[in-house]
Amino acid sequence: MKKAMVIANPSSGKEEAEIYLKKIRRQLESKEYRVDIRLTSKEGDAVTWASEACANKYEAVVSIGGDGTLSETINGLAEKEYRPALGIVPLGTINDFARALGIPLDPEEAIAIIGGSKLQKTDIGKINNRYFLNIVALGEIAESTADVSAGQKTVLGSFAYFLEGAKTLVHKTSFDAAVIADEQQWEGEALLFLAALTNSVGGFENIAPEAKTDDGKLHCFIIKDTALPKLVRVIANLLKGNLKKDPDVLYFRSSQVTISSSVRLKANVDGDTGEKVPVTLQVLKEHINVFTP
């Protein structure tokens, strides 16, 4: 019999994860899987268990929770010799990766597609020795949005990120950046560097509208140091999906990017504080098989 591991964060979705465990068990058993349920209690549990599922050759791993649980699960699956198919039941506030893949945000609808025959190969990103799903950002604005609390996200949703980032614009701080990509180099003063892997970032689907989950590319934006009135225009273009056309924004696509700076920066990796510069980003193309509609 096929084996499926369900990794659930019991505190996700207003503590609704356990409500859906019976439903996901029934769904998987109807597809002839033997089901192994694991409930996370501390950071790193999902990484450990997803790695175990690879080692023991489970046919499927299902992540039930928010983007944090999913990120840990991906970090357990990435670059293993054998990788199970991934099911996603989104219970978080934003659920960027699910949005990008067209997975229903309604948990019961998401459960209904798991274990089916439709699998989609999707890219993931790698930053130094860590893996990511949606975005890496550098700059004071990026570091401020990493401090958005779970409570803020619950109340304000994606607007919480926008609000925290806007606060830094009053006393904007630039940084020197040296960026080396596949076919180009850039050096100068920047306010923000973004590398988007999908078209949904913090719940906004207009930052990199052309990004596909399997195109093998990072969609990169360097927002140059510029006067505040021009930044208002940049923000307006971001919200309209025209960021790459702004004259104070450099846009490029690349499968690998290295960024360094004399400023002590920490990357914002999928909304959380991550690696210190210098960092190297790369795309692992079509690396994970995901159950999709």
Q: Which of 88, 117, 146 is the last residue of a domain?
A: 117
Q: Inform me whether the pLDDT recorded for 225 exceeds 90.
A: no
The answer to the question of residue 35 being in a domain is yes
Same domain, 145 and 84: no
* Calpha distance 34→40 (Å, rounded): 20
CATH of the domain at 233: 2.60.200.40
Domain identity same for 200 and 102: no
Q: What is the pLDDT of residues 152-175, one digit of tens each?
A: 444 434 434 444 444 445 556 889
272 C-beta neighbours (distance < 10 Å), count: 14
Exposure string over 5-34, b if 16+ CB within 10 A, otherwise e: bbbbbebbbeeebeebbeebbebbeeeebe
Q: Residue 20: enclosing H or E segment and its boundaries?
A: helix 17-30
Residues 109 and 225 in one domain: no
Euclidean distance between CA atoms 258 and 220, whole angstroms: 11
In a domain, 80, yes or no: yes
Average pLDDT over residues 180-195: 92
Kindly state the average pLDDT of the residues 271-284: 93
Residues contacting residue 106 through CB under 8 Å, at least 6 positions apart: none
Q: What is the pLDDT confidence band of residue 209, given thresholds at 50, 70 and 90? A: confident
Flag whether 290 is in a domain.
Answer: no
- Tens of pLDDT along 23-81? 999 999 999 999 999 999 999 999 999 999 999 999 999 999 988 899 999 999 999 99
At 86, the amino acid letter reads L
Q: Give, to the nearest 10 degrees, the angle between helix 67-77 and helix 45-55.
A: 40
By CB atoms closer than 10 A (0-12, 13-18, 19+), residue 122 is buried
- Whole-angstrom CA distances from 238 to 206, 219, 244, 273 are 7, 14, 8, 23
pLDDT of residue 291: 98
Residue 101: C-alpha distances to residues 19, 26, 78 (Å): 24, 24, 18
Q: Domain end: 59, 86, 117, which one?
A: 117
- Say how far apart CA 289 and CA 287 lie, in whole Å: 7
Residues 6+ apart with CB under 8 A from 112: 27
Same domain, residue pair 94 and 140 = no
Q: What's the pLDDT band for 184 if we cut at 50, 70, 90?
A: confident
- Whether residues 193 and 243 share a domain: the answer is yes
pLDDT, the chain, mean? 87
Comparing C-alpha atoms, which of 191, 224, 194 is closest to residue 206? Answer: 194
Q: What is the pLDDT of residues 106-153, one digit of tens each?
A: 999 999 999 988 999 999 999 999 999 999 999 887 776 555 445 444
Do 190 and 175 touch, CB atoms closer than 8 A? yes
Q: What percent of the chain has pLDDT over 70?
A: 88
Residue predicted with more confidence, 227 or 5 = 5
Residue 122 lies in a domain: no
Domain with 65, as residue range(s), is 2-117
Domain boundary among 72, 87, 117: 117
Q: Are residues 108 and 166 in the same domain?
A: no
Residues 138, 251, single domain; the answer is yes
User: According to the model, what pLDDT value does residue 155 have?
Assistant: 40
Q: Do 189 and 87 reside in the same domain of the chain?
A: no
Do 106 and 149 fall into the same domain? no
61 domain residue, yes or no: yes
Q: For residues 277 and 196, state if they share a domain.
A: yes
Task: Please give the tally of structural domains in the chain.
Answer: 2
**Residues 147 and 12 grouped into a single domain:** no
* Short-list 134, 131, 142, 126, CA closest to 261: 142
pLDDT of res. 235: 74
Q: How many whole angstroms separate alpha carbon 47 and alpha carbon 289?
A: 17
Residues 147 and 106 in one domain: no
CA atoms within 13 A of residue 139's CA, in its CB half-sphere: 27
> In which band, very low, low, confident or very high, does the pLDDT at 203 lie, cut at 50, 70 and 90?
low
Asked if the structure places residue 81 within a domain, the reply is: yes
